[in-house]
C-alpha cells in the first residue's frame, strides 16, 4: 500500500479572523451578520469601491503601457506617497533621507518583511505585543522565528488603557526587545494612548539604554480623527529621531483590501544607514516574493500625488469614519433599548472599526450558533459592518444571549 507523503499532516485550525468569513459565507441564514473581519461596509452592507478609486483605476488601465516587473522595493511615487502620509510633506526625516520605504503586500506584508529583516540582524531579540493584540501578530512574529511575549495594555474594568502597567513592563524589557505598538485605532480594543501618553512612550524608547526596537503597526490611518491627527504617534517618533519600523496599510483607508496595498518604512539615523537598510530589505523581498504587484499601488500613487484627487479621497474617507461613529451611537442606544444591563457608553469612546464588548467566549459562540452573528472570540466586534438595518437584530441577539 502506498503511504502518502502528507499522511502525517494534521488539520490546522481555521484562522481566528478570516476563518470566520469562511464560516459566514457558508451560513444559509439570510439574517447573518459578519462582525468578525475588520472590513468597512457601507449602509447597504457592501464593501464600497470609492468613487475616486474607481475613476483612477479605469484611468490607469488606459494609461498603462507595459506589464514588466516593478522594482523590488516598489513604485517610487507610491513609496513617496506613503512617506508623505506618514510624516507630512515637510518632514525632516524625508528631506534628510532618514526614512526608507518599500511597497508591501498589505500591512501584513509590511509586518512580515520587517519581522524577517529584524530576525536576520537581531537574532537574540524577542517580540512583545500588547495584551490583547491583533490575532495575527503573535502568529506572524512566531512564523518569523521569534519568541512572542505580551505587555499589559487593556484594563477591562475601566475599558481603558492600563498605562502605568504598560510603562512599567516596557521599562523592564531585555535589550533589543521588539515592541509592537499600534499607531491608532488599537486592534482589537479601540483604546489608544492620549498625546501625553505617547510622549511618555516615545521618551521611553528615546532614552532607553536597552536599544528597544519599536515596530509600529499603522493599519487604520484616517479612521480615528483624520489622516493628519492619526499620524501623531508616528510623527512624534520621527521628530524625536527614534529609529523604528512602521508597517502601514491602505486596505481600509482606500477600501482596496484585495489589492494588497501597504508598505514598510524604517526610520534610520542617516542617509547612509538608509541605503544599507534598503539594500537588505530588498534581499528579504527578493527571497520571499521577488517584487510587488502593480495595479492597486498605481491607483494609490495617482491619488496621493494629485492634491485634488487626494482631497476627494480624504472626503470619502471621512464619510466612512463618520458613519462608523454614528453606528457606535446607534449600537449603544440599541443595546439599551433591548434591555441590556450595564453602561456600554465606552463603545462611543473607542477609536476605529472595532469595539471590544467584553462578551464571554460562550456568548460569542451562542451568537454565532443561534443568530448567525459572527465575531472574534476575544469579543471584538467590527462596528464598521453594522448598519441601520442590522443593528436592531444584533442588539436584540446580544440582549437574549446575555440573559
Backbone CA torsion sign across 165, 171, 177, 180: positive
Distance, CA of 399 to CA of 378 (rounded, Å): 18
Q: Could you confirm whether 217 is annotated as catalytic?
A: yes
Distance, CA of 182 to CA of 93 (rounded, Å): 21
Q: Could you confirm whether 282 is annotated as catalytic?
A: no
Cβ closest to ligand LMR, residue 17 vs residue 340: 17
Per annotation, catalytic residue among 73, 112, 134, 366:
134
Residue with cell 459562540: 365
- For 135-190, where are the alpha helices, taking DSSP H only? 135-143, 163-170
C-beta neighbour count of 365 within 10 angstroms: 14
Per annotation, catalytic residue among 217, 230, 313, 366:
217
Contacts made by residues 47-55, CB under 8 angstroms, sequence distance 24+: 47/255, 47/257, 48/255, 48/320, 49/255, 50/254, 50/255, 50/313, 50/316, 51/312, 51/316, 52/303, 52/309, 52/312, 52/313, 52/316, 53/254, 53/255, 53/256, 53/299, 53/303, 53/313
Nearest to 134 by CA among 194, 220, 59, 197: 220
Min dist. Cβ of residue 136 to ligand LMR (A): 5
Cβ closest to ligand LMR, residue 38 vs residue 214: 38
Min dist. Cβ of residue 379 to ligand LMR (A): 14
Min dist. Cβ of residue 133 to ligand LMR (A): 10
Comparing every residue's Cβ against ligand LMR, the nearest one is: 38
Binding site for ligand LMR (CB under 6 A): 17, 37-38, 134, 136, 187, 219
Min dist. Cβ of residue 201 to ligand LMR (A): 22
Beta bridge partners of 267: 99, 244
Min dist. Cβ of residue 331 to ligand LMR (A): 18
Residues marked active site are found at 134, 217, 252
Amino acid at each position: 500500500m502506498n503511504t502518502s507523503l502528507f499522511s502525517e499532516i494534521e488539520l490546522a485550525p481555521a484562522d481566528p479572523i478570516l476563518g470566520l468569513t469562511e464560516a459566514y459565507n457558508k451560513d444559509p441564514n439570510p439574517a447573518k451578520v459578519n462582525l468578525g473581519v475588520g472590513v468597512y461596509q457601507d449602509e447597504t452592507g457592501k464593501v464600497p469601491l470609492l468613487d475616486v478609486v474607481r475613476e483612477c483605476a479605469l484611468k490607469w488601465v488606459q494609461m498603462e503601457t507595459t506589464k514588466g516587473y516593478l522594482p523590488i522595493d516598489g513604485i517610487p511615487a507610491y513609496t513617496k506617497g506613503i512617506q508623505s502620509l506618514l510624516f507630512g510633506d515637510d518632514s525632516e526625516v524625508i528631506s534628510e533621507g532618514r526614512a526608507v520605504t518599500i511597497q508591501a503586500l498589505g500591512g501584513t506584508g509590511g509586518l512580515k518583511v520587517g519581522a524577517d529583516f529584524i530576525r536576520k540582524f537581531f537574532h537574540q531579540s524577542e517580540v512583545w505585543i500588547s495584551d490583547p493584540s491583533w490575532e495575527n501578530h503573535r502568529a506572524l512574529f512566531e512564523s518569523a522565528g521569534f519568541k512572542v511575549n505580551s505587555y499589559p495594555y487593556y484594563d477591562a474594568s475601566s475599558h481603558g488603557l492600563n498605562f502605568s502597567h504598560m510603562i512599567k513592563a516596557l521599562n523592564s524589557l531585555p535589550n533589543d526587545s521588539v515592541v509592537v505598538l499600534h499607531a491608532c485605532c488599537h486592534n482589537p480594543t479601540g483604546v489608544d494612548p492620549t498625546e501625553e501618553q505617547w510622549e511618555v512612550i516615545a521618551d521611553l524608547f528615546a532614552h532607553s539604554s536597552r536599544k528597544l526596537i519599536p515596530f509600529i503597526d499603522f493599519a487604520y490611518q484616517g479612521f480615528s480623527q483624520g489622516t493628519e491627527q492619526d499620524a501623531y504617534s508616528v510623527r512624534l517618533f520621527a521628530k524625536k529621531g527614534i529609529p523604528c519600523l512602521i508597517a502601514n496599510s491602505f486596505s481600509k483607508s482606500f477600501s482596496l483590501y484585495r489589492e494588497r496595498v501597504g508598505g514598510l518604512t524604517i526610520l534610520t539615523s542617516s542617509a547612509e544607514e538608509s541605503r544599507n537598510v534598503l539594500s537588505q530589505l530588498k534581499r528579504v523581498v527578493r527571497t520571499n516574493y521577488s517584487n510587488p504587484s502593480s495595479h492597486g499601488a498605481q491607483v494609490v500613487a495617482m491619488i496621493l500625488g494629485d492634491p485634488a484627487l487626494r482631497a476627494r479621497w480624504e472626503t470619502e474617507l471621512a464619510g466612512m469614519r463618520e458613519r462608523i461613529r454614528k453606528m457606535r451611537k446607534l449600537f449603544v442606544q440599541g443595546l439599551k433599548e433591548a434591555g441590556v444591563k450595564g453602561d456600554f457608553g465606552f463603545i462611543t469612546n473607542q477609536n476605529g472599526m472595532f469595539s471590544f464588548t467584553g462578551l464571554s467566549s460562550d456568548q460569542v459562540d451562542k451568537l454565532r450558533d443561534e443568530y448567525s452573528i459572527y465575531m472574534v472570540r476575544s469579543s471584538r466586534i467590527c462596528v464598521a459592518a453594522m448598519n441601520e438595518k442590522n443593528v436592531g437584530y444584533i442588539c436584540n441577539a446580544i440582549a437574549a444571549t446575555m440573559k
